[in-house]
Structures are given as structure tokens and as C-alpha cells.
Amino acid sequence: MTSESPLLDSLNLVVSDMEETLAFYRLLGVEIPEEGVWRTDTGAHHVEVSMPGGIDLEFDSVDLAKRYNEGWQRPEGGSASVVGFKVASREAVDACYARLTEAGHTGLQKPYDAFWGARYAIVEDPDGRDIGIMSPSDPNRRTSPPEV
């Protein structure tokens, strides 16, 4: 990497309900210590979690986002990206999907054996973002991708 090459080091998600978001991501399995939640008299506004893979996952309230980005507007329509989380096993994909959907979160893609060899599922977070849950890929389970 040259000194001018950008390095992806964080994913910042603006959230409409911080408490609901924290509950969802904790249920997903993300360790979010309460002492890492920045709160004011008006509520929780910022959380930063250093993820094991080296990227920081951050959550900001709408009020805070409007303070540092004067052009911020809530996007309309569905999610145009998938925020991916890797879990330890194929069984963990099923268990995580079940835990989240049983808690009332919308399942968008039930767990299935994907053509690239992983077990994969998608659940919607409280702000409508697609959250992918994927096991490690098993080369012995790879198949040809469907025609597009």
C-alpha cells in the first residue's frame, strides 16, 4: 500500500433507534460493551466497536449524523448493500438466523447452501439494512453458479 492508497477501516451506520439497533447487533453476536456507548441527556448517539477483522463498526444517531454531515438524508427504498458477518460454522448460520427472526426481525433469505460453498442467510436490521450471515466456505460444497 502506498501512502496515497485509501484503507477501509470503518463502517458507519446511521440508525434511527440506537437502543433497538444495539439490541439487534448484540443478538446477532456482536460484543458491544455498554461503556462504549456515548450517551447524552437526549440519548445514545455514538458507538464504536473494534471488530476482530480489524475494521471498526460504528453506529451514529440521526441527530449526530446531521451535525457532521449537513447533507445527510434518510435513504428511500430498500437496502443497496449487504453488511456481512462471518460465523464459525454452517450450524451457526441457522442458529443466528433463528435467534434473530424469532425475536421479530425480518428474514429476507432463509439459510441455504450457497453455490460458493458456504451456508448463507440474510436478515433485515432495524433500519432496513440487509445483514448477511455466512459460514466459512467449504470447497467440497461448491457448485456451478445459477445463470444470470
Nearest Cα to Cα of residue 111 among 130, 88, 143, 135: 135
**Taking the domain 79-148, which CATH number applies?**
3.10.180.10
Beta strands in 26-87 (DSSP E): 37-40, 43-50, 56-61, 82-86
CATH superfamily of 7-71: 2,3-Dihydroxybiphenyl 1,2-Dioxygenase, domain 1 (3.10.180.10)
The pLDDT confidence band at residue 124, using thresholds 50, 70 and 90, is: very high
pLDDT digits (tens, 9 = 90+) for 10-24: 999 999 999 999 999
Instruction: Enumerate the CATH 3.10.180.10 domain ranges in the chain, comma separated.
Output: 7-71, 79-148
pTM: 0.84
